[in-house]
Amino acid sequence: MFADIQNRIAELRQQLEYHNYRYYVVDTPEISDAEYDQLFRELQALEQAHPDLLIPSSPTQRVGGAALSEFAQVSHITPMLSLNNAFSDAEVQAFDKRVCDAIDLVDINYAVEPKFDGLAISLVYEQGQLVSGATRGDGYVGEDVTANIRTIRAIPMTLATATPPSRIEIRGEVLMLKADFIKLNQVQLKNQLKEFANPRNAAAGSLRQLDPRITAARGLHFFAYGVGQCEGWDMPSHHSQMTQQLATWHLPVARQVAVVVGVAGLLDYYQRIGNMREQLPFDIDGVVYKVDDLAQQAQIGYIARAPKFAIAHKFPAQEATTLVLDIDVQVGRTGAITPVARLAPVLVGGVTVTNATLHNEDEILRKDIRIGDSVNVRRAGDVIPEVVSVVLSRRPVDARRFVMPTRCPVCGSHIVRLENETIARCTGGLYCPAQRKQALWHFASRRAMDIDGLGEKLIEQMVDADLVQHPADLYRLGLLNLVGLERMAEKSAQNLLVAIEKSKHTTLARFIYALGIRHVGEQTAKDLARYFGNLDSLIKADELNLLQVPDVGGVVANAILQFFAEPHNRTVVDLLCAAGVHWDDAMPDNVVNSALLGKVFVITGTLPTLSRDEAKAKLEAAGAKVTGSVSKKTDYVLVGADAGSKLSKAQDLGIAIIDEVSLLNLLGQQHD
């Protein structure tokens, strides 16, 4: 029983982290907020019941997702915490009781406001001037989106006051009004581009544009709802007074903010806002209650990820009942096979729904969804409608179970599901049209074939123009093919062709990595190249051979076997070699005679003549492994100028310390 609880907690953490990434980082969520909340609350309950299983890295101990790497990171001086949720009157009553007990009072005054469905933002004003804007990120570190924030006309560049604070951080929500969302999708449709699923998704994607001109054209809006850090200004004593002050400075504040008394006032406000929800110019998914008195807030305090003096009262997801006409599968960019229910059209949340995600095969079995069933479907503004439950009392006698196909519906390659994974995948990674863009982008990336100038947007153009179907087609491109593409002048096309030609001479490790084999990262590709020495030996290897490679376990070995077992993939590999892609075969590890074979090195400081990458390449070519941190397993620490803490740690552990001259001697090379 205890093992089952441990396994369920581990499964929930994995699911939540995955969906955090989909929602906050890449802006392509796969499940509804209600489903996420259900998983989160289940994990919270299990951790509370078993506190010995709580770990600092659990999703319940953090706020949101990681900052995008394309933007500079900004540390929030005061963390931007999220709120705990309430879904019933009883939970609101329990919240009010906790607040009353904490400060020994009854009939508390609460500041209440709509819960915007957008993106949390921090604005910093110095001497009344807007100096920066950042997303919430993980609550502690966000993304610097100042250039894009400045394009939002609702945000004043200068506070409307002659006596501004010396520095103030104003918090609020960037969102897209419903009317602007409709206009944006009309433009997308006219330009034959993909429509956005809802205003929240459109706002998040628009604010994260690397080109501020795109953000400016999207019609984003902003509402302020609080203050973080403040210097050089006497803060009001109440939250409601603070929002009033923000409004006098010409910052947008929702008209629906109010102050109510006690739990009766909270529930009445919830009902009133719920009744006007459809008429509001923006999307909301609930209301927020905060103790109005700031001194009382401080007295009540915080827990790890949320204030105890505030809570979000979420609206129930809107649902409807309809029929499952069929279940088929869709193939994602990475080969993920997602079952999709084809539904009899039904109106849910003001939108006609005909499809709903079923997530994966296990989810279908868990909910026992069958073709012909009557099901409850939920949308409530979510990106992808989902089947919530089956109405078993209406199940027809001829209802059919779903069977996961064994072949990809797009390319015909085998569908496999690896051990300990919930997602089935198409194995035709290099060949499958559904995975084409992703496979090409990975193949051309800097750590793989390093084709300079071949980015994601250009790959999309090539694929859409049917110039490239698989990586080998890149080596057949000519000048005339490229100059016809948008923003591709003759000189740019010629430069790209030179880069493609240059990429033909690579290394076996880079080539293996470029193939995009699942679970085979850059280091594993190097280990495989070093062990087998040539591609033919790797392709012919069985599971026993593969398991001899350092750090290759059963999951990785099976992924490699399945990749090369797919004829489509081997055909593309043959075509790449026929196109002139080549490398120098190395003596494999199992026959190489090197004093450095298997030795573990750490590099620190600046070397006199070699870059770190050059030193690493030389060591790996000799069979050594280069890691990033010093441990008892480290054999040598290669030290250059301005070496840091790694040198001290190596000295403490008694690990051999060498310089560049000693390295070259070990490698048997003459130092100039």
Task: Count CB atoms within 10 A of the CB of residue 163.
Answer: 8
The strand order across the sheet containing 656-658 reads 625-627, 600-604, 636-639, 656-658
Write phi, then psi, for 332 (nearest 5 degrees): -85, 175
Q: What is the DSSP letter of 384?
A: S
3-state SS assignment for residue 428: coil
Residue whose C-alpha is closest to residue 442's, from 520, 368, 389, 365 = 520
3-state SS assignment for residue 382: coil
- Structure token pair of residue 375: 């099901």
- Structure token pair of residue 377: 């479907």
Query: Which residues is 600 bridged to in the sheet?
Result: 625
Dist. CA 304–CA 22, nearest whole Å: 24
Q: In a 10 Å sphere around its CB, with 0-12 CB exposed, 13-18 middle and 19+ buried, how is residue 345 labelled?
A: exposed
What type of residue sits at position 493?
A
- Structure token pair of residue 266: 């909270």
Dist. CA 76–CA 85, nearest whole Å: 23
In the set 115, 526, 616, 618, the catalytic residue is: 115
Q: In a 10 Å sphere around its CB, with 0-12 CB exposed, 13-18 middle and 19+ buried, how is residue 542 labelled?
A: exposed
CB 429 within 8 A of CB 471: no
Q: In a 10 Å sphere around its CB, with 0-12 CB exposed, 13-18 middle and 19+ buried, how is residue 42 labelled?
A: middle
Task: Count CB atoms within 10 A of the CB of residue 193.
Answer: 10
Please work out, in degrees rounded to the nearest 5, the angle formed at the alpha carbon of residue 189 by the alpha carbons of 277 and 332. 90
Dist. CA 288–CA 268, nearest whole Å: 13
CB 240 within 8 A of CB 186: no
Write phi, then psi, for 47 (nearest 5 degrees): -70, -35
Dihedral sign, Cα of residue 255, residue 257, residue 261, residue 264: positive
616 is catalytic: no
Chain centre distance of CA 469: 27
Helix (H) or strand (E) holding 123: strand 119-126
Dist. CA 22–CA 481, nearest whole Å: 35
Dist. CA 175–CA 196, nearest whole Å: 14
| Torsion angle in degrees (nearest 10) through CA of 58, 61, 65, 67 | -110
Q: Catalytic positions, please?
A: 115
